[in-house]
Amino acid sequence: MESNSTNFKTASRMYKKFSLLSLAISIVVSGFCFYLSEGLSGNFWYLLWIAPIPILIISYYSSWKTTALVAFLAYLIGRLSWLPYLLTVVPGMLAILFTLLLPLIFAVIVLLNRFVIRARINLVSIFAYPVFFCLFEWIGFLVSRDGTIASLAYSQANFLPLIQIASIAGILAISFWVCLFASTISMLWIFKKENKSITIPTIIGCSLILLPLLFGIVRISKSVEGKRIKVGLAVVPARSYKSFLDPNMDFEKKITQMHIKEIDSLAKSGVEIVVLAEKVIPVTDSSEPVIMEMLKDAARRNGVTIVVGITRIKTGYNRNIALVIDKNGRILEDYEKVNLFPGEMYEGFRKGKDPGLFDWNSNPAGVAICKDLDFDRYIARYNEKSPQILFVPAWDFDRDGWLHSRMAILRSVENGYPMVRVAQQGRLTLNDNRGRVYAEATTNGNQSTTLSGNIVLKNENTLYRSLGYYFGELIAVCAILFLFSGIVTKPTKNNPA
């Protein structure tokens, strides 16, 4: 009885120490870490590991109202890093709504974590925060029209050892690890202040943090063996485009010739495939035969395969197409984008239905377009034919160039094949199935951007591919168990509600 009273007094004393100044400092420090680590550049990914720690500690000793406010304000500061970008791609009210919604969700997550750890503080409590965070992230994957874009896992794309766990359990496992790091540190601090032993929690927490990193180090230390090919990537100046939905034969021929010039140049360097960006050549029913013959002639003359994004302008609707033309001028694949950006739907683009799969020189390959890569479940459909490489024409928004390229790259880690991605107003990247970027360039709106490099054709069956989305379902079960445990635990003086 004396032990419970002592712990309660400790918690009470700590609560009194949280003055308005200390709460404000915690909000600013956590918010600043969220702001830098969840930005669009990927430069300060490691700050995300520590960003939630002050908030999680405060939540244990504070009222639910204080906890909710502190969590909301800290995460709101972090989400402001996205606001300038959102204002360029969606209406202002939607940008503000999205900026406010995620901090509200974060506040709910922290409150759920508080509910569990105050009901029963023990070793298992370490897992409450990562479980609830990943639960909401997984639900977002299932219901959001933007797929997985809100996942904090993408912020870690530059840390190769960590992202390898996506090959086991998908990007949700990366988010879990990041949250587990913060939860372990905060719970060890609370255990210490509550006079509880930290030996076993330290051993288990550190083991679960280190084991995925060791797995990742071993995985990236192994070289990727297979057939090596040379690929060229090209983007013409973005300023060349005014509107690609206004039929104009002269413009269509001009823009096609600009791309053929880059194809000719890359072919001289010995590339076997040239990949162009999304929607870069507009065609109508009357101009398509002429434009197609120009592209086929370029493929035959240079002896290269061309992957090109085509905008097919039809009466009453439009189509976003990725065409694959082999070195003999044959169409290997005519793929229509399945996952459209909202702006494309407003412009009358029609959705496709099936993955773009084809054989290139007896090697299974695939083609997808830009936003398709935001949807992990859709890209998993490509595994039906086990492609040894995926080609991705894309069109980004400048600010999101790094982020959107890394979202695509993590699909490579999950599914076990390399990728060639070419984005107008974004990044040109060549990466292997470990997420290593072999070559990269950033587009310049005033001049053409080209890139070439070697890439190994490889398809490696990952555990994630074999088992599917088991980790999200496991998270949901654990969340239910945590809530049930918190509900049935009787409040005591040491853990008042």
Please answer whether residues 33 and 47 qualify as being in contact, where contact means their C-beta atoms are separated by less than 8 angstroms.
Answer: yes
Please answer whether residues 335 and 358 qualify as being in contact, where contact means their C-beta atoms are separated by less than 8 angstroms.
Answer: no
Selection from 472, 477, 410, 406 nearest residue 137 by Cα: 472
**Which overall architecture, per CATH, does domain 228-457 show?**
4-Layer Sandwich (3.60)
Q: What is the spatial distance between Cα 67 and Cα 23, in angstroms, rounded to a whole number?
A: 10
pLDDT at 495: 53
- Sequence-separated (6 or more) residues with CB below 8 Å from residue 422: 233, 234, 235, 275, 276, 277, 392, 393, 394, 428
Q: What is the spatial distance between Cα 493 and Cα 497, in angstroms, rounded to a whole number?
A: 9
pLDDT at 493: 42
pLDDT at 5: 40
pLDDT at 13: 44
Q: What is the spatial distance between Cα 282 and Cα 292, in angstroms, rounded to a whole number?
A: 11
Give, rounded to a whole angstrom, the gap between the first and last alpha carbons of the chain.
19
pLDDT at 12: 42
pLDDT at 9: 45
pLDDT below 70 — which residues of the chain? Answer: 1-17, 244, 490-497
What are the pLDDT digits (tens) for 110-142? Answer: 999 999 999 888 889 999 999 999 999 999 999
pLDDT at 472: 96
Please answer whether residues 392 and 403 qualify as being in contact, where contact means their C-beta atoms are separated by less than 8 angstroms.
Answer: no
What string of H, E and C letters represents the secondary structure of the chain? CHHHHHHHHHHHHHHHHCCHHHHHHHHHHHHHHHHHHCCCCCCCCCHHHHCCHHHHHHHHHCCHHHHHHHHHHHHHHHHCCCHHHHHHHCCHHHHHHHHHHHHHHHHHHHHHHHHHHHHCCCHHHHHHHHHHHHHHHHHHHHHCCCCCCCCHHHHHCCCHHHHCCHHHHCHHHHHHHHHHHHHHHHHHHHHHHCCCCCHHHHHHHHHHHHHHHHHHHHHHHCCCCCCEEEEEEEECCHHHCCCCCCCCHHHHHHHHHHHHHHHHHHHHCCCCEEEECCCCEEEECCCHHHHHHHHHHHHHHHCCEEEEEEEEECCCCEEEEEEEECCCCCEEEEEECCCCCHHHHHCCEECCCCCEEEEECCEEEEECCHHHHHCHHHHHHHHHCCCCCEEEEEECCCCCHHHHHHHHHHHHHHHCCCEEEEEECCEEEEECCCCCEEEEEECECCECEEEEEEEECCCCCCHHHHHCCHHHHHHHHHHHHHHHHHHHCCCCCCCCC
pLDDT at 445: 82
Please state whether beta strands 331-336 and 305-313 pair in parallel, antiparallel, or not at all (unpaired): unpaired
pLDDT at 6: 44
Pair of tokens at residue 413: 């880690």
Please state whether beta strands 273-276 and 228-235 pair in parallel, antiparallel, or not at all (unpaired): parallel
pLDDT at 365: 98
pLDDT at 497: 53
Q: Using alpha carbons, list the distances in angstroms from residue 287 to 61, 248, 254, 294.
A: 69, 9, 12, 11
- Ordered by start, the domain boundaries in the chain are 2-222+469-488, 228-457
Selection from 136, 247, 125 nearest residue 180 by Cα: 125
pLDDT at 46: 97
pLDDT at 490: 55
Q: What is the spatial distance between Cα 158 and Cα 104, in angstroms, rounded to a whole number?
A: 28
Phi, psi dihedral angles at 56 (to 5 degrees): -65, -40
